[in-house]
Structure 1
Amino acid sequence: MYSAIVFLPLIGFLIAGLFGRVIGHTASEYITSGLVIISAVLSWVAFFTIGYGETALVEVEVLRWISSGALNVAWSLRIDTLTVVMLVVVNTVSALVHVYSIGYMHHDPHRSRFFAYLSLFTFAMLSLVTSNNLLQMFFGWEGVGVASYLLIGFWYKKPSANAAAMKAFVVNRVGDFGFALGIFGVFMMFGTINLPEIFANAQAVAGGHGAEGADHGAAVLNFLGHPLDAHTAMTVVCLLLFMGAMGKSAQFLLHTWLPDAMEGPTPVSALIHAATMVTAGVFMVARLSPLFELSHTALTVVTFFGATTAFFAATVGLVQNDIKRVIAYSTCSQLGYMFVALGVGAYSIAVFHLFTHAFFKALLFLCAGSVIHAVSDEQDMRKMGGLRKHIPFTYWTMFIGTLALTGVGIPLTHIGLAGFLSKDLVIEAAYAASSGEHANAFALYGFWMTVVAAGLTSFYSWRLTFMTFHGKPRAPVDVMKHVHESPMVMLAPLFILSIGAVLAGMVFYSQFAGEAYDAFWKGALFTGAENHILHAIHDVPKWVKVSPFVMMVLGLTGAWYFYIRSPETPKRLAAEHEGLYKFLLNKWYFDELYNFIFVRPAMWIGRQLWKKGDGKIIDGYGPDGVAARVQNVTSWVVRLQTGYLYHYAFAMLIGVAALVTWSMFTGVSTGGGAH
C-alpha cells in the first residue's frame, strides 16, 4: 500500500508524459487524476492505520541504492505519524487540484503535459516526505524544485513566466546549497545519512562523542577552516539545514521567488502554496527535530526568521492588487507562523497549522482561479467588484476560506474554523516559550509579530473579499456580460476543501495538541521541549488567548470601513503616505536591492569576462588570434600567385640576382669546379 501511494503518481506522469499525444488529452487527464485519487484514498487509510493504530513506524525498503565505503543508502519509505499527515495533505490537495484542472485547463492545447507535470510534482513531494535518509530527502527536495520550474514556466511563450520560473529555480539554489552542506556536515558528524541511525546517536554526538568516538570537547567537524566542537558543529549544521528550508518555504531574505510564482496556472499556485513545495521546509525541520532540539541557537534563529516573515509578508499583502499575489503573500506569512512554532519547540503545532492551512489555502487559490475564470482571465481586483450575485458558489466557498484564514471562532474554546485553532495555538506557544527553563530569546518577539500579523491578515483577506465580490462592478461592461459560474468539475473540489477548512481544526485538535497527542504521534516528533510547551499553553493568560481574535475583529472592521463604508479613504491615505505606500507596494524593495547587490554586479562581471576576457584576451591571443595571423600571412602569399608568366620570370631574375650577390659577398663559388 505504501509503495503504491508514492509510485502511482509517478506512473501517471510517465503515461501522460510519454504517451500523452498518443492517448489524447482526455485520457491523460483521467489517468493522472484517477491514480492520484487512488493514492489520496490510500493515504487516508494509512493515516488512520498509523495515527490511530498501534503501529508507530513502518519501514519499507524499495531497493538498495548506494553502497560505497561507509555510505550505505537504500531507497526506503519511512512511514510514521508525521509521514501520514504529510501524505494526506499532499495527496488530498493534489487530487483535488487534478480534478479542478480538468475544468480550468479545458481550453489549453498542452493539457497532457500539464497533468504530467502535476503528477511529477506530487511524486517528488511524496518521495521527500517518505524519505528514510537525507539523500532520498534531497532527491525529493530537488524534484519539487524541478517540477515547480516546469509548472511556473508552463506557459513558456510568456516572457514573465519564463523569468518567474528561472527566479524560483535560482533563489532555491541558494537555499539548496546550504541544505547540501548541512547533509555533508551530518555525514561527517554521524558517519551516516540514514535517519534511524542519526536519531539514535544524536544525543551521543551532541555530547562530543562523534562517529569516530571523539572525546568530549574535541573537534568533530571542520568548517571553513575552523575546527568545531560538537555543540558548535551541531548549531552550524542545523543552520545550514535551515538555510535550505528558508529557500523552499520562502522565508525572509529568500522569499522573493514566491509571489512571482503566480505566473503559472492557478492550480499550480494552489499545489505549490498549499501542499507541496513551500511545506517542504517546515516538514524537514520537523523531521529533523531531534537535531534542532540539540541547538538552542539554531531554534532561536528559526524563531526570528519565522516571526519576521510573518510580519513582513502580511504588510506587503495589505496593498497588493493582484488577487493571486495577495494570497501568495498570505502563504508566506502563514509559513512564518509555522517556523515560529518550530523555533519554540512546538513541532506538532507547526505541523497542525501546516495541516489546516493546506485546506483553506488551497481553497482560496482555487476560488481565485474560479474568479479569474469568470472574469475573462482578469487578476486585478481593482477591475472586479459586484461579483457576489454572479458567482454565488465561488463567493460562499471563498467566504469560508477567508473565515478560516483569518481565524474565526469562539474565544477560549476549541470551537472555530481551521485557522482559528491552529494559528491561535502558534501564538500561545510563542508566548509560553518566552519564559521558563527553556525560554527562547525571540519567543516574545515571535508572539508580538504573529499577533500583529493576525490583524494584518484579517485586513488584507477581507479587503480581497470586499474588493472582489462587493460594491459596484468595476469591470468593463462586455466582461460583466460574460461573467459565469465555474463548471461542477471545478466547484466540487471547492466544496470538499470547504469542509476541511471548517472541520479540520476541531476534529484533529486533540491529536495535535490535546489529550490524544502521545497516542497519535508515538514519538514521531521530538517530545522534550514540546511537552513543556503543550502544558504551558494551558497556563497562558486569557488576554493572550483572546488577542488574535481581537486582532481579527479589528482587521475585519478596518477592511469593512475602507472598502465598503468609505471606499475613497484608501486612495486618500495612499496619497497622504505615498512613501509608505510605495514601500509596501514594492515589497520593501527587496527585488531592487538584490538587483543592485547581486544581479547588476554579476551582469557586469559576466560582461567583462565575455567582452574582454573571452573576446579580447582568449579569442584575441588564442585560437582566433592565431587563425587571424595565419590568414594574414596566407593573404600575402596568395597575392604572389598572379598567374602571369612575366611575374614569375621577374621573380626568378630577382632570385638569381640575390643568389649572385650573396655569392660575391661570401666568396662562395657558384661554378662547378676550382680554377
Structure 2
Amino acid sequence: MDTAYILLLLLAPFAGFLFNVFFGKKAGHNGAGYIATFAVFVSFLVTLFYFIRINQTGQAVSVKLFDWIQISTFKLSFGVLLDQLSLLWLMFVTGIGSLIHLYSISYMHDDENRHKFFAYLNLFVFFMITLVVGSNLLVMFIGWEGVGLCSYLLIGFWYKNQDYNDAAKKAFIMNRIGDLGFLIGMFLLGHLFTTLDYADMKITIEGGTNAANTGWIAAAALALFIGACGKSAQIPLYTWLPDAMAGPTPVSALIHAATMVTSGIFMITRLNFLFGLDNVDMHTVNLVIAVVGAVTALVAATIGLVQNDIKKVLAYSTVSQLGLMFLALGLGAYEVAVFHVITHAFFKACLFLGSGSVIHAMHGEQDMRNMGGLKKWMSVTYITFLISSLAISGIPPFSGFFSKDEILMTAFHSNTVLWAIASLASIMTAFYMFRLLYLTFFKEFRGTDEQKHHLHESPALITFPLIVLAILATVGGFISLPGNSWLNNYLAPVIAHKGHGEHHLDNTAYMLMAIAVVGGLIGIGIAYAKYIKKSEVPPADAEMTGFHKLLYNKYYVDEIYESLFVKPINALSTFFRDTLETALSGLVYGFGKVTNAISDKGRLVQNGSIGRYLFAFTLGVVAIITYLFYNKIA
C-alpha cells in the first residue's frame, strides 16, 4: 500500500506535466492551471497523510522501488525515504506549491503559453519531490539536476526578451559549476563507503569503520558544500539568483524563495551524520560553511539596501536569509536552520507573491521609485506585505523573530564575531524591507496617470494565497519555542549529532532577544525617518555616486566575473575557432584531398575489362598459395 501512495505522491505532478504538455492548450482558458494545481494538491494530501502518521508513530517509511546499480561491491537501489525531515520539507514544497499554482491561474491569465508555464511548474514540483524523498545521494542528484533544468525553463519563460534568456543561461551555468562539486563529493563518498545510501553510510560512520578516512570524508563534505553554494546561492556562486527575477513572479516565489534554493540546506541536514563528525577536518569544513554563510548574509544585505526593483530587493533578501541558514548549519544547529527554512518559506513566499500583486496592479512596473501610496487601493496586499515584513525583520510575535533569534543565539554562544556579522545583516534586513514597504505603499503615488487610473486590488485567486501565507508567517514561529520545541523533538530521530544544546530562557537569552528586537526596530526607524518623515525617493541611476553607486552596482561582482572568466573563455574559444580549428580543418581537408586524388586514379582500374579482372584474381590466388606453402615448410 505504501508503494502505491508513494508513487501517487511522486507521479501526480508528473501526470499534470504530461497532461499540460499534450492537452493543456485544449483544456479551456484556465483548465491547465486547475489541472496543475490539483496535481500538486494531491501530492500535498499524500504528504499530509504520512506527516500525521509519522508524527503519531515515529516510524519512518522506506520503500525500495527497484534495484538500480551493482558494480563489484558498489550497490544502490532506487529507494524512497519518508522520514521526519523529508516530510517536513514536502509539507511546504507541496503546500506552498499548491498556493502558488492557485495564484498563478490569475497571474498568468492573459499569457498565451500559460499551459506550458503550468507544465514547467508541475515538472519542477516532481523533481523537487524526487530530490527530497530519495533514499540516497544519486536519487537526490536526479532531482537536483531536474530542478536546475526547470529553473532554466521558467526563468527564461518569456524567451522573446533576450535579457531573460541570458538570465536563464546564467542560472543554469552557475548551477552546473556547483553541481560539479556535488558530483566530486558523491564520487568520493561512493568510493569510501561503496554505497550512497544514507542509512548505510550512517551505520558505517557510527560503527567507526571509516575513522581512518576523515580527511577524505571532509574533502567530500567540502565538495558537497560547493554544490550547495551553487543551488542555494552562496558566495561566490550567488549572482544568478537576483538575475533569476526575470522569470514570472510565481516562479520567484516557488523556486527562488521556498523550495529550490533550500536544496543545499536540505542536503547538508540530510547528511548531518557526516557533517557533524567530531574531528579536526570536519571542524574546519564547518567553520568554512559558517563563515561563508555569515559573509553572504552581510554582503547580500548591503546590496539590498539600495536596490530599486521590488523583486531585486527580495532576491538579495533571499540570498541574505540563506546565508543565515548556512551559518546555523556550520555551527551544527541543524534544527535551527530547518526552522528558519520553514518560517522563511512562509514570509518570503508571501512577500514575492505580494510583489507580484503590486506588479500586476502596476501593469508590469517593478521600480519602487514609480510607486507609492498603494495601500489606498490594495489593502489586502498591503496588510499581508506588512505582516511578512515584520516577520522577516524579526519583530515578535511573528515567525521570523523566533527562527532568526535562534540563529543569533547559536552564533553568540559559538562565535561572537559571526554573531555580530549576522546581527548587522539582520538590522539591514529590517531597514531595506521597510524601505520597500514605505516606498511602495505609503505617501503619494509617483507613477503615471494611466497607471493610477487602473490601480485596484488583485483578484481573489491572488489575495487568498497571500492571506494564508500571512497567517502562517504570523503563527509559524510557535512550532519551536525556546525550552519547548516541538520541531526539535520531531526531528530528533533524524539529527544524529547535536551541535548545540536546546536554548532556554535565561538572562543571556533575554538579553540577546532584546538586542535583536531593538536592532530590528532601529532598522525600521531609520527607514521611517528617511522615507516617511523626510519623504526621500531614491535618486535616478545617473545621479548615484560613491558607496551608494558601488552597492547599487552590486560591488561590480558581475563585471569582475565577466573580466576574469567570461572574456578569457570567449577569447580562448575564439582562438580555437579562428586559429586551431582553421589549421586542423586544413589538415583534415588535406587528407580528404589525398584520398580523392588516389580514388580518382584508382577508379581507372575499374574499366570493365574482364580479362584484367581474371588476371588480378589469378595473381591473388597464386600469392596466397605461395604464402601458405612457404609457411608450411618453415
Q: Which moved more, 1:461-470 or 1:543-552?
A: 543-552
Q: Is the Cα contact below 8 Å between 2:351 and 2:385 reproduced in 1? A: yes
**Equivalences for residues 205-354 of structure 1 within 5 A:** 207=208, 209-210=209-210, 217=212, 230-294=213-277, 295-354=282-341
CA–CA distance in structure 2, aligned partners of residues 108 and 239 of structure 1: 43
Q: Is the Cα contact below 8 Å between 1:323 and 1:381 reproduced in 2? A: yes
CA–CA distance in structure 1, aligned partners of residues 540 and 113 of structure 2: 45
Q: Residue by residue, what CA displacement relative to the aligned partner does 1:57-87 show, whole Å, maximum 9, x if unpaired?
A: 1102223322333232222111111111101
Q: Residue by residue, what CA displacement relative to the aligned partner does 1:504-562 show, whole Å, maximum 9, x if unpaired?
A: 112x114x9735456422411123324x3x24785735332222111111110000111
Please tell me whether residue 559 in structure 1 is matched to residue 527 in structure 2.
yes
- Residue 639 of structure 1 corresponds to none
Aligned in 2, Cα 1:539/1:286: closer, same or farther, shift over 3 Å?
farther
- Residue 423 of structure 1 corresponds to 404
- Residue 616 of structure 2 corresponds to none
The amino acid that maps onto 1:23 is A
- Residue 646 of structure 1 corresponds to none
CA–CA distance in structure 1, aligned partners of residues 235 and 505 of structure 2: 27
Aligned in 2, Cα 1:566/1:535: closer, same or farther, shift over 3 Å?
closer
CA–CA distance in structure 2, aligned partners of residues 624 and 455 of structure 1: 69
* 3-state SS in 2 of match to 1:61: strand
Aligned partner (choices 579, 593, 596) of residue 546 of structure 2: 579
**Equivalences for residues 436-451 of structure 1 within 5 A:** 443-451=415-423
Gaps (5+ residues) in structure 2?
Answer: 601-634
* 3-state SS in 2 of match to 1:605: helix
Question: C-alpha displacement at 1:274, in angstroms?
Answer: 2.4
* 3-state SS in 1 of match to 2:63: strand
CA–CA distance in structure 2, aligned partners of residues 628 and 568 of structure 1: 77
CA–CA distance in structure 1, aligned partners of residues 357 and 503 of structure 2: 43
Aligned in 2, Cα 1:326/1:518: closer, same or farther, shift over 3 Å?
closer
Question: C-alpha displacement at 1:572, in angstroms?
Answer: 12
Please tell me whether residue 151 in structure 1 is matched to residue 154 in structure 2.
yes
Please tell me whether residue 600 in structure 1 is matched to residue 572 in structure 2.
no
CA–CA distance in structure 2, aligned partners of residues 573 and 163 of structure 1: 22
Q: Is the Cα contact below 8 Å between 1:274 and 1:359 reproduced in 2? A: no
- Residue 178 of structure 2 corresponds to 175
* 3-state SS in 1 of match to 2:81: strand
Please tell me whether residue 525 in structure 1 is matched to residue 492 in structure 2.
no
CA–CA distance in structure 2, aligned partners of residues 561 and 476 of structure 1: 26
Question: C-alpha displacement at 1:588, in angstroms?
Answer: 1.4
Q: Which moved more, 1:230-239 or 1:16-25?
A: 16-25
CA–CA distance in structure 1, aligned partners of residues 255 and 485 of structure 2: 32
* 3-state SS in 2 of match to 1:192: coil
Aligned partner (choices 580, 585, 592) of residue 619 of structure 1: 585
Q: Which moved more, 1:63-72 or 1:252-261?
A: 63-72
Please tell me whether residue 454 in structure 1 is matched to residue 426 in structure 2.
yes
Q: Is the Cα contact below 8 Å between 2:272 and 2:497 reproduced in 1? A: no
- Residue 362 of structure 1 corresponds to 349
Please tell me whether residue 38 in structure 1 is matched to residue 8 in structure 2.
no
Q: Which moved more, 1:165-174 or 1:37-46?
A: 37-46
The amino acid that maps onto 1:458 is A
- Residue 195 of structure 1 corresponds to 198
Question: C-alpha displacement at 1:120, in angstroms?
Answer: 0.6
* 3-state SS in 2 of match to 1:56: coil
Please tell me whether residue 85 in structure 1 is matched to residue 88 in structure 2.
yes
- Residue 375 of structure 1 corresponds to 362
CA–CA distance in structure 1, aligned partners of residues 299 and 542 of structure 2: 19
Please tell me whether residue 402 in structure 1 is matched to residue 370 in structure 2.
no
Question: C-alpha displacement at 1:629, in angstroms?
Answer: 12
CA–CA distance in structure 1, aligned partners of residues 557 and 519 of structure 2: 28
CA–CA distance in structure 2, aligned partners of residues 509 and 394 of structure 1: 28
Aligned in 2, Cα 1:538/1:117: closer, same or farther, shift over 3 Å?
farther
Question: C-alpha displacement at 1:30, in angstroms?
Answer: 1.3
- Residue 104 of structure 1 corresponds to 107
CA–CA distance in structure 2, aligned partners of residues 571 and 565 of structure 1: 17
Q: Is the Cα contact below 8 Å between 1:250 and 1:258 reproduced in 2? A: yes
The amino acid that maps onto 1:602 is I
The amino acid that maps onto 2:24 is G
* 3-state SS in 2 of match to 1:243: helix
Question: C-alpha displacement at 1:578, in angstroms?
Answer: 2.2
**Equivalences for residues 53-92 of structure 1 within 5 A:** 53-92=56-95
The amino acid that maps onto 2:472 is G
- Residue 116 of structure 2 corresponds to 113
Q: Tell me which structure has the larger Cα radius of gyration.
A: 1
The amino acid that maps onto 1:252 is I
CA–CA distance in structure 2, aligned partners of residues 115 and 21 of structure 1: 11
Please tell me whether residue 550 in structure 1 is matched to residue 518 in structure 2.
yes
CA–CA distance in structure 1, aligned partners of residues 553 and 11 of structure 2: 42
Q: Is the Cα contact below 8 Å between 1:25 and 1:112 reproduced in 2? A: no
Gaps (5+ residues) in structure 1?
Answer: 211-215, 218-229, 410-415, 435-442, 635-675
Aligned in 2, Cα 1:628/1:500: closer, same or farther, shift over 3 Å?
farther
Q: Is the Cα contact below 8 Å between 2:334 and 2:495 reproduced in 1? A: yes
Q: Residue by residue, what CA displacement relative to the aligned partner does 1:244-269 show, whole Å, maximum 9, x if unpaired?
A: 00000000110010000000000000
> What is the TM-score when the length of structure 2 is the normalising length?
0.89
> What is the TM-score when the length of structure 1 is the normalising length?
0.84
* 3-state SS in 2 of match to 1:233: helix
The amino acid that maps onto 2:480 is Y
Question: C-alpha displacement at 1:20, in angstroms?
Answer: 2.0
Question: C-alpha displacement at 1:25, in angstroms?
Answer: 4.7
Question: C-alpha displacement at 1:388, in angstroms?
Answer: 1.0
Please tell me whether residue 463 in structure 1 is matched to residue 429 in structure 2.
no
Q: Is the Cα contact below 8 Å between 1:348 and 1:513 reproduced in 2? A: no
CA–CA distance in structure 2, aligned partners of residues 380 and 255 of structure 1: 22
CA–CA distance in structure 2, aligned partners of residues 120 and 538 of structure 1: 48
